[in-house]
Amino acid sequence: MGSQIQFKFNLTAISIGIAIFSMFFGAGNVVFPLILGYQAGEHLPFALIGLLLTAIGGPLLGLFGTILFKGDCKQFFQRIGTWPSYLVVLLIMALIGPLGGMPRCFIVSYGAIAPYLGDISLFWFSLLAGAVVMLSIIQRKFILPLLGWFLSPLLVMALIIIIVKGLISFTSPMPVNISAWQAFTQGLGIGFDTMDLLASILFAVVIWDLLKEKLMVQAHDTSLAEIAAICCMASLIGGTLLGLIYVGLSSVATGNMEVLHAVPKEFMLSALAVQVLGEKLAFVANIAIALACLTTVISLAVTIADVIKVEFDASPLGQRCSLHYGGLTLSIVWLTVVMSNLGFDRLMLYLHPVIALFYPAIIVLTICNILYKLYNFKLVKLPFYITLAGTLGYRLL
């Protein structure tokens, strides 16, 4: 009997670990390890330590903390106050949605297939991509599952091939004008820019639902120890898979720095694919990357629209007037199109200061919430707001 329970535990941890990897491995994030590999050069090991701390450790910590709140991000944030919690959730949805994550996906998608589209500009591509996203949302019951089942494995396979072939032909990195410490801090900052900690808190409900399904958890008999153990094991599996991809892509970029010299960031993956795979295989890989990015946009648009619609309908204002779902979705996609036309560098120029300001406070909140659930540590507002104020003061200096 004990071996059967252990087998079920291991099988559940593996399946949820793969789900965690799929949730965090956003198609728009593949460019960040390439940027880090190119910038860090010979100091890549130090840069990777920073990246793995914030791009993997952070989101896994956020996921674990929110799972302890049964996947309810509202309860997770309400410990800092009711209205502040609403503002933080809105900010997170904006950052990972139409003001940040979604436009990045459009830009990376454009960078992947622009070489095959002639003289089409980012403006016209984003308009076309926005129209495709809206049509896909209308038919999402048929299109989204098909794209998810087909494109996710194809994207991972394409990246694995690029990594393996790129490492085989690895060359010594070019000298860089940064120290090992600067490479480490760059890794930390780029890990923040993935925004996976924010996404992990908002979408932890998906993993919670999987846990309920696998463990047959009921609200009144939830075993915190069992959930924590499986979540930790699953996080280790998902984090390892994610780390291997990040380390591989960064290493390939470091070994091909001359290829990436003066290449715009959104075109880095496309340039590497051509260098490593050749023109024909690179075409297939870039199409998979572009379509996977659009699939990510579709999923985010639907999820954010659903959350806003549910919350609005449950509010006092929602009792007096209705919020049209189609108009809400169109607004989200249209804002994504507008923001994507900033281009990758300008978009990150606006996003990075906001992310750098709020990330440390969210990390502190996550740690306090975990300590609260495990050890009844009740202090939360003071550490959160002190961290936020300290970070703001540091940024202003």
The pLDDT value given to residue 287: 85
Q: What pLDDT, on a 0 to 100 scale, did the predictor assign at position 295?
A: 81
Residues 333, 344 contacting (CB under 8 angstroms):
no
pLDDT in tens, 159-211: 888 888 888 877 777 778 889 999 999 999 999 999 989 988 888 887 887 77
User: What's the maximum distance between 2 C-alpha atoms anywhere in the chain?
Assistant: 65
Can you give the pLDDT at residue 220?
Answer: 47
DSSP state of 116: G
Quick one: pLDDT at residue 351? 92
Kindly report the length of the chain.
Answer: 397
DSSP 177: S
Structure confidence at residue 219 (pLDDT): 46
The reported pLDDT for the residue numbered 171 is 74
- Cβ–Cβ contacts within 10 Å for residue 146, how many? 11
Local structure of 222: helix, strand or coil: coil
The span from the CA of 53 to the CA of 128, in Å, is: 37
Helices 58-67 and 343-375: angle between axes, nearest 10 degrees = 40
Q: What pLDDT, on the 0 to 100 scale, is given for residue 47?
A: 94
Give domain limits for the chain: 12-302+329-342
Which two tokens mark 185? 């801090």
Superfamily covering domain 12-302+329-342: Amino acid/polyamine transporter I (1.20.1740.10)
pLDDT less than 50: residues of the chain: 1-2, 5, 7, 218-220
- At residue 187, the pLDDT reads 93
The string of pLDDT tens digits covering residues 23-67 is 777 666 888 999 999 999 889 999 999 999 999 999 999 999 998
> What tokens does 188 get?
């930390």
